[in-house]
């Protein structure tokens, strides 16, 4: 199971990002564990300055905006990177 974290303050873009990822996983039939990280120190620990950020299996794959559906599908289907 893929572990995916959405890094951000809980703003609208962070919520949309989480929904895009959940929808992509559902469409792909892939089970994921989605966690929302709102602690600023934890977010900075990943080196993310611009949110929302996305971490897949411990690897930062995105930061600074809402990802597109195709991008999210790639994350739930493939290895990070």
**Domains (range + CATH), the chain:** 2-77 (3.40.30.10)
- Point out the residues that are catalytic: 11, 14
One pLDDT digit (tens) per residue for the chain, 81 residues: 999 999 999 999 999 999 999 999 999 999 999 999 999 999 999 999 999 999 999 999 999 999 999 999 999 987 544
Q: In the prediction, which pLDDT does 80 show?
A: 47
CA distance 62 to 22: 16
Is the overall model pTM greater than 0.85, yes or no? yes
Distance CA(10)–CA(74), nearest Å, equals 23
Q: Which two tokens stand for residue 30?
A: 């892939």
Contacts of 22 (CB under 8 A, 6+ apart): 32, 34
């Amino acid at each position: 199971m893929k572990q995916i974290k959405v890094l951000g303050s809980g703003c609208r873009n962070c919520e949309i990002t989480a929904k895009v990822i959940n929808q992509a996983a559902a469409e792909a039939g892939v089970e994921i564990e989605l966690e929302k990280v709102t602690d600023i120190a934890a977010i900075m620990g990943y080196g993310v300055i611009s949110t929302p950020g996305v971490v897949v299996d411990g690897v930062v794959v995105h930061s600074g905006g809402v990802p597109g559906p195709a991008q999210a599908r790639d994350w739930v289907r493939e290895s990070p990177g």
